[in-house]
């Protein structure tokens, strides 16, 4: 297994993993409802330098030459700037260009985590989280945060075991999420 920084050429596999992780949020961020169009826009976002879903914010886990997982993280203080290109695209497509605030400005934020179905249960998600935490420490951040869906008990249990603590409930795309934080 190899954990490495993402590259633009990873866009195809990354888009599939991102969509699997964020589901209806992908519709909100792309302004699309058809899966092929959502994937096209996610690939475009991933290849670009500055937005929340950019390869520059992404770490890839590869096994046997195949991309098996992804984690995307950035500092909450950068969220407004990283969301600007997304808001711009949404404004061109429709009037309502709201991108929900997901991260506090004080936290390094784990935006997206996904391991491909065929690779789940092999601790790859834990390895990706550890890689994001290490990057946050290297960058000098004091805390890392993530959001977990209210009904995702399996993920919440994992995050709790890894030291993440509940801070508050936030609303993302009309759904309640628990905002969990860990000291780095």
C-alpha separations of 147 from 36, 60, 111, 116, 180 in Å: 26, 20, 8, 19, 6
- Say what the pLDDT of residue 98 is: 77
> Two tokens at 38?
């959502």
Pairing mode of beta strands 175-183, 143-149: antiparallel
- How many Cβ atoms from other residues are within 10 Å of residue 135's Cβ? 18
Predicted model pTM: 0.95
DSSP string over 9-33: GGHHHHHHHHHHHHTHHHHHHHT--
Structurally, at CATH architecture level, domain 2-183 sits in: 3-Layer(aba) Sandwich (3.40)
Is the model's pLDDT at 160 over the cut of 90? yes
Secondary structure of residue 48 in the 3-state scheme: coil
CA-to-CA distance for 148 and 135, rounded, in angstroms? 21
> Two tokens at 89?
């695209």
- Say what the pLDDT of residue 33 is: 93
Residue 93: band (very low, low, confident or very high) from pLDDT cuts 50, 70, 90: confident
pLDDT digits (tens, 9 = 90+) for 96-125: 677 899 999 999 999 999 999 999 999 999
- Share the mean pLDDT of the chain: 95
Ordered alpha helix ranges (H), the chain: 11-22, 24-30, 35-47, 79-93, 124-138, 153-161
Task: Kindly list the strands in the beta sheet with 175-183, ordered across the sheet, starting from the edge strand earlier in the chain.
Answer: 2-5, 58-63, 66-75, 108-115, 143-149, 175-183, 165-172
Question: Higher-confidence residue: 15 or 99?
Answer: 15
pLDDT digits (tens, 9 = 90+) for 30-89: 999 999 999 999 999 999 999 999 999 999 999 999 999 999 999 999 999 999 999 999
**What residue spans define the domains of the chain?**
2-183
- Say what the pLDDT of residue 95 is: 59
Secondary structure of residue 124 in the 3-state scheme: helix
Half-sphere exposure of 181 (CA within 13 A, CB side): 15
Residue 16: band (very low, low, confident or very high) from pLDDT cuts 50, 70, 90: very high
pLDDT above 70 covers what percent of the chain? Answer: 98
- Say what the pLDDT of residue 99 is: 87
Q: At what angle do helices 79-93 and 35-47 cross, to 10 degrees?
A: 140
Average pLDDT over residues 126-155: 96
- Say what the pLDDT of residue 94 is: 73
What value does the CA radius of gyration of the chain take, rounded to a whole number of Å? 15
Is the model's pLDDT at 148 over the cut of 70? yes
Look at the block and give the residue holding tokens 């993402």: 6
């Amino acid at each position: 297994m190899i954990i490495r920084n993402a590259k633009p050429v990873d866009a195809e596999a990354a888009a599939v993993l991102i969509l699997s992780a964020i589901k209806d949020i992908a519709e909100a961020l792309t302004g699309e409802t058809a899966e092929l169009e959502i994937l096209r826009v996610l690939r475009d976002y991933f290849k670009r330098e500055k937005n929340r879903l950019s390869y520059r914010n992404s770490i890839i886990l590869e096994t046997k030459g195949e991309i098996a997982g992804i984690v995307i993280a950035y500092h909450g203080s950068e969220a407004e700037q990283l969301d600007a290109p997304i808001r711009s695209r949404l404004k061109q497509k429709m009037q309502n260009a709201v991108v929900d605030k997901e991260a506090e400005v004080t936290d390094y934020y784990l935006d997206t985590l996904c391991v491909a179905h065929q690779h789940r249960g092999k601790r790859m998600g834990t390895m990706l989280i550890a890689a994001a935490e290490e990057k946050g420490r290297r960058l000098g951040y004091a805390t890392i945060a993530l959001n977990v869906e209210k009904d995702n008990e399996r993920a919440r249990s994992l995050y709790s075991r890894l030291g993440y603590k509940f801070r508050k409930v936030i609303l993302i795309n009309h759904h309640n999420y628990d905002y969990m934080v860990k000291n780095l």
